[in-house]
Amino acid sequence: MLAIAHSLEKLPWPPRFSLLDRYILREMIRPFVFGFGIFTAIAAVIGTVFYLIRNMVEHHLGLLSAIQVFFLRLPTFAVLGIPMAMLFGALLSYSQLSRRSELIACKSCGVSPVRLVRPALLAGFCALLCTFALNELVAPPLAYRAIKTLEVAIHRPQPTFQTRNIFYRRFGDGHLRQLFFAHRFDGKVMGQVTVLNFEQGELREIITAQEAQWQGSAWLFRQGTYHHLRGDRDYDVAEIFSERRFAYPRTPLDLAMETRVPEFMTSREIYRYLQILAESGDAKRLRQWRVQLQEKLSLPFLCLSFAVIGAVLGISSPRQGQGRAFGLSVAIIFGYYVAAFIFTAFGEGGAVHPIVASWLPKGIVSAIALGMLYDANRH
């Protein structure tokens, strides 16, 4: 590891693109584009095409609408395809350079494997930025638009808000403070509302109303009853009202107005929704969303690790043809996603922290990449 660090210290900063860098980067373009097309197409077929065909058969989805939905969903699968293509492109291009003895000539001139891998790192960093931009700016809104387009096309439009059974819990000082339940919601007014307020775990107030609507800084309850309970659970105050304002938080409204899943949201939107979920006390759902946020943030960093792994494998295995390179790439990717799936399940189940669940598989891949680079640098 010290040898790698020493080699990296000798590299010029900021990095200058030498003739060798530009040559290797040009060699990586074609296999990267090929791998990007193949892996994105495979992910799209598995994730969307079969689903669209089923809707065409069962719900008479039109061909033009299916094509529109497919292309709207394509950026989501491109996000998955870029890291895979980075691995395949680096592996195949470096293998071809080794097979043509060009890398051997570089080594004979004193060029270390760390130096040879630098173009792959530069390509991996560019792929990281592209993946992050797609995952934040392009894929979420287009994926959500695809779902809405599909719903309209099959004549099953879904509202953009929760219409029934809005449930909210508020905690404070380690105790349950409030339960808020609304049987229905039309986007503005909640119907058949029940609110239970607690003090130190003891029920103190019961409010029921036919309607409740958020108005600026408080809830306006209409046609309801208010009961205040003493410690012995007898009613201290019982009141029937036509309208009454209560200064409760608007969190139940925020929860009801958001029906998107993390796939359709940017990391900033997920973070804001996590703050709302934290007030609701829904620990299970909170864990799941935290894991999904970390997954969205950590996925682009696979590009760097896969670039190094592909380059080192290409340098050390010069006989890799296109078919063998593709097969080896699939095996590595499959192994990673199996591990990532297991850790995600642990994170959502509460066995490990969400940050550990999302970042540890990427950290393991990075450690493997550094270990392979260290071993290649010794020989």
Residue type, 13: W
pLDDT surpassing 80 at residue 138:
yes
The band of 326, judged by pLDDT with boundaries at 50, 70 and 90, is confident
The predicted pLDDT at position 283 comes to: 87
Taking residues 232-250, what's their average pLDDT? 85
| Residue 376 backbone class (left: φ over 0; alpha: ψ -120 to 50; beta: rest) | alpha
For helices 322-349 and 302-316, the axis angle rounded to 10 degrees is 150
pLDDT surpassing 90 at residue 245:
yes
The band of 57, judged by pLDDT with boundaries at 50, 70 and 90, is very high
pLDDT surpassing 60 at residue 7:
no
The predicted pLDDT at position 6 comes to: 47
How many helices and strands, by DSSP H and E, does the chain display? 13, 6
Taking residues 217-225, what's their average pLDDT? 95
Q: Smallest Cα–Cα separation from 4: which of 114, 143, 125, 82?
A: 114
pLDDT surpassing 80 at residue 236:
no
The predicted pLDDT at position 109 comes to: 82
User: pTM value?
Assistant: 0.86
E-strand stretches of the chain: 164-172, 175-185, 189-199, 202-215, 218-229, 235-246
Q: What is the mean pLDDT of the chain?
A: 89
Contact 378, 370 (CB under 8 A): no
Strand partners, 190: 185, 212
Q: Smallest Cα–Cα separation from 319: which of 44, 124, 97?
A: 97
Higher per-residue pLDDT: 294 or 114: 294
In tens, the pLDDT along 159-168 reads 999 999 999 9
The predicted pLDDT at position 16 comes to: 64
Distances (CA, A) of 218 to 231, 244, 245, 338, 353: 27, 10, 6, 48, 36
The band of 84, judged by pLDDT with boundaries at 50, 70 and 90, is very high
| Phi, psi of 110, rounded to the nearest 5 degrees | 90, 10
| Phi, psi of 27, rounded to the nearest 5 degrees | -65, -25
Neighbours of 327 (CB within 10 A): 12
Contact 306, 124 (CB under 8 A): yes
The C-alpha atoms of residue 276 and residue 232 are separated, in whole angstroms, by 34
Please give the share of the chain, as a percent, with pLDDT higher than 90: 70
In tens, the pLDDT along 99-133 reads 888 887 888 888 888 889 999 999 999 999 999 99
Higher per-residue pLDDT: 238 or 43: 43
The C-alpha atoms of residue 260 and residue 160 are separated, in whole angstroms, by 8
Taking residues 164-192, what's their average pLDDT? 92
| Phi, psi of 181, rounded to the nearest 5 degrees | -135, 130
Question: Token match 């029920």: residue?
Answer: 203
pLDDT surpassing 60 at residue 12:
no
pLDDT surpassing 70 at residue 14:
no
Contact 286, 257 (CB under 8 A): no
In tens, the pLDDT along 343-376 reads 999 999 999 999 999 999 999 999 999 998 888 8
The C-alpha atoms of residue 249 and residue 247 are separated, in whole angstroms, by 7
The predicted pLDDT at position 4 comes to: 45
Q: Are strands 218-229 and 164-172 parallel, antiparallel or unpaired?
A: unpaired
Q: Smallest Cα–Cα separation from 369: which of 299, 296, 301?
A: 301
